Amino acid sequence: MKVDRSVSPPAERILAAADKLFYAQGIRAVGGKIAVQFKEQRRLWYRALLERLDARNPDALATQLQILFEGALAAALVRGDPALARSARDAAEVLLAASGVRRPSRRRRRSARRS
């Protein structure tokens, strides 16, 4: 599986995947072979990014992230509670940190003030 070489750090891209999953419009159920292929491609995508991050046991962590995000998506659909997306993202941060992945610190943007 090819991992695109975005300028965003891999850890940020993994966490952004949760954001995209839960805030995507038009979520609909897909059945059969297409769903299986999509789920495996997503897991392999996580694994490739985790390998770039030198995470401990990237295959297991990729599976954990996939389960986390799929479970959170299902719970959000059932409960109708978008706050579950934040909980899933927070849990993903804990999983990443526990596997040795450190996120780069975010710089605050300085707004240009006119005198």
Residue 5: the pLDDT is 62
Contacts for 92 with CB less than 8 Å, ≥ 6 apart: 14, 15, 18, 65, 68, 69
Residue 26: the pLDDT is 46
Nearest to 11 by CA among 70, 109, 92: 92
Nearest to 96 by CA among 12, 5, 7: 12
Compute the distance between CA of residue 76 and CA of residue 82 in angstroms, rounded to an integer. 6
**What predicted TM-score, i.e. pTM, was given to this entire model?**
0.64
Residue 4: the pLDDT is 60
Residue 19: the pLDDT is 74
The pLDDT averaged over each successive group of 10 residues in the chain (115 residues) is 68 80 52 76 95 96 95 91 90 95 62 44
